Structure 1
Amino acid sequence: MKVAAIQMPTVEDKTENIRTAGKYIEKIKTESPDFVVLPEMFCCPYQTENFPVYAEKEGGPSWQAMSDYAREYQIYLIAGSMPEIDEAGNVFNTSYIFDRNGNQIGKHRKAHLFDINVKTGQYFKESDTLTPGNHATVFDTEFGKMGVMICYDIRFPEFARRMVLQGAKMIFVPAAFNMTTGPAHWELTFRARALDNQIYMLGCAPSRNVQAGYISWGHSIVTDPWGQVRNQLDEKEGILIEEIDLEREEQIREQLPLLKHRRIELY
């Protein structure tokens, strides 16, 4: 199967961001990707005060545009993430997943909110405006089950393991590591989760804008079940396209059966 990550810029105009996503999907249609992934908060600048302002209910204009793209291009679309507001006024960091017919087949609300205060000066608190989700997300496709998590979720090994135990063959991660966490942990974390779970991981980030209030590390990445980096972009706009060999995943799990060797009576 073929996957694509669109490392696009994000501007203040939501409509322009949606249009940019569509232009990139159009650009790669001759590649016939099966799965296309957009970045975390692809439709609004990644700042806590923006999330309630840009938030839409499920089924809103941004949701509809993503559904239309999935149907038009006959792809599974992991629509990055966008601010979602529910009937009670709670705002979530939400990734909608659409099938080739534009039907929503999954929805992940970021479960672990990015609340940090690093001594180098990095302070960010998503919980100022966001509510956490409360479940892991696995969805069905013609290739088998797949998982979705959002950015900070990847730092919790139990979360990825739960998806794998539910049958996920690959985990897609819309994300936006910053200029402190990115150089230190981006590649390392994707390799670790892939190795721990003998699974393919794909991280899709926004391109870097040094003028933004929150500066993305970029470097969209694919790691494989052997813990290797298969492909990685730099910080600029671009598209990562990779062929995924699920048979190799099964072979690795048979040759080094660490999932079968778990001592669940001990932990």
Structure 2
Amino acid sequence: MFKMASKFRLALVQLTVRASKSDNLARASALIKEAASSGARVVALPECFNSPYGTKYFPEYAEAIPGPSTHALSKAAKENNVFVVGGSIPEEENGNFYNTCTVYDPEGSLIAKHRKVHLFDIDVPGKIAFQESEILSPGNQLTFFNTPFCRIGVGICYDIRFPEMAMLYAQRGCKLLLYPGAFNMTTGPAHWELLQRGRALDNQIYVATVSPARDEKASYIAWGHSSVVSPWGEVIATTEHQETVVYADIDVDYVKEVQQQIPVHSQKRQDLYRVEDLSDLVGVE
């Protein structure tokens, strides 16, 4: 395990996701190793990293947890001595399907599991219609975990559109929010960066998003552009749409500096805007 530190390197693996689950797992493991060798201490994968994204694929690729995909993540975390935020996989439990992110510490232990709370149900006439709720069930908890560097909150894709969720994470001491996601060619160019910067600036914390690489032949084409935004609302690391690893050096002390410079997160404000209706959504300590 790492010593307590205020700075660490974050790696976002913008993975090319193919039809072969075993190939996806092997490639993800290889890129986690590459990220660790480049100094990353926290490595994150994209949404549905082991499976093509789409309601017709979820039942076919779904696994119980633990299962083959989560075993590969645990092994990669332990072998490379890093925290692994495992994007998401289709999960099956008791006949229900979930879009689920698992998190592992450097010893390979499962320390958090987040089921996507807000399902992706949209209809933009003439552009895109998608209904995750046709197959998936929603999660009902916020999820955060502790590292020697800071507390990190987890959301999945559509979760980023809900500012109350990010605010609850910030109130609970998260300094970084990680959103594995797969925005598309309609909402990606319009909202991907805007939402990241909004959540970061609202809460004066780091926000990172991890997308699959773009596959023009896929039935669902991901936008790509995995990015990290600072507490000042600046994009400090990003990429285009090809497979790559994006790195950013996270400075937890900078979060404190920004919050002191523009003190919008006083205890008085937190008391005034506390979201009591969501108080039962408790994270992982």
Q: TM-score range by the shorter chain?
A: over 0.9
The AA in structure 2 aligned to 1:212 is A
Q: 1:164 aligns with which of 160, 166, 170?
A: 170
Q: 1:45 aligns with which of 41, 52, 55?
A: 52
Is 1:6 the counterpart of 2:3 in the alignment? no
Answer with 189-198 or 46-55: which moved more: 46-55
Q: Give the unaligned 5+ runs of structure 1.
A: none
Structure 2: how far apart are the matches of 1:50 and 1:77?
24
Match of 1:234 in 2: 240
Structure 2: how far apart are the matches of 1:21 and 1:263?
39
Answer with 161-170 or 35-44: which moved more: 161-170
In the TM superposition, residue 95 of structure 1 has moved relative to its aligned partner by 0.2
Q: 1:58 aligns with which of 46, 54, 65?
A: 65
Q: CA RMSD in A?
A: 1.1
Deviation per residue, 1:244-264 (Å, 9 max, x gap): 111011111111111115274
Name the SS of the counterpart of 2:174 in structure 1.
coil
Name the SS of the counterpart of 1:154 in structure 2.
helix
The AA in structure 2 aligned to 1:58 is I
Deviation per residue, 1:74-100 (Å, 9 max, x gap): 0000001001111x2110000000000
In the TM superposition, residue 266 of structure 1 has moved relative to its aligned partner by 6.6
Is 1:72 the counterpart of 2:79 in the alignment? yes
Name the SS of the counterpart of 1:28 in structure 2.
helix
Q: 1:22 aligns with which of 29, 37, 51?
A: 29
Q: 1:194 aligns with which of 200, 224, 245?
A: 200
Structure 2: how far apart are the matches of 1:84 and 1:177?
20
2:182·2:212 contact (CA, 8 Å) conserved in 1?
Answer: yes
Q: 2:211 aligns with which of 205, 211, 215?
A: 205
Match of 1:151 in 2: 157
Match of 1:132 in 2: 138
In the TM superposition, residue 145 of structure 1 has moved relative to its aligned partner by 1.2
Match of 1:175 in 2: 181
The AA in structure 1 aligned to 2:168 is R
Structure 1: how far apart are the matches of 2:271 and 2:165?
16
The AA in structure 1 aligned to 2:31 is Y
Match of 2:227 in 1: 221
Structure 1: how far apart are the matches of 2:261 and 2:216?
45
Runs of 4+ in 1 over 4 A off after TM superposition: none
TM-score using structure 2 length = 0.91
Structure 1: how far apart are the matches of 2:221 and 2:15?
13
Structure 2: how far apart are the matches of 1:109 and 1:29?
26
The AA in structure 1 aligned to 2:193 is E
2:150·2:252 contact (CA, 8 Å) conserved in 1?
Answer: no
2:127·2:186 contact (CA, 8 Å) conserved in 1?
Answer: no
Identity level (%): 43
Is 1:123 the counterpart of 2:167 in the alignment? no
TM-score using structure 1 length = 0.97
Structure 2: how far apart are the matches of 1:36 and 1:263?
31
The AA in structure 1 aligned to 2:110 is Q
Name the SS of the counterpart of 2:40 in structure 1.
coil
The AA in structure 2 aligned to 1:79 is G
Match of 2:278 in 1: none
Structure 1: how far apart are the matches of 2:136 and 2:37?
38
The alignment covers a number of residue pairs equal to 266
Structure 1: how far apart are the matches of 2:172 and 2:273?
20
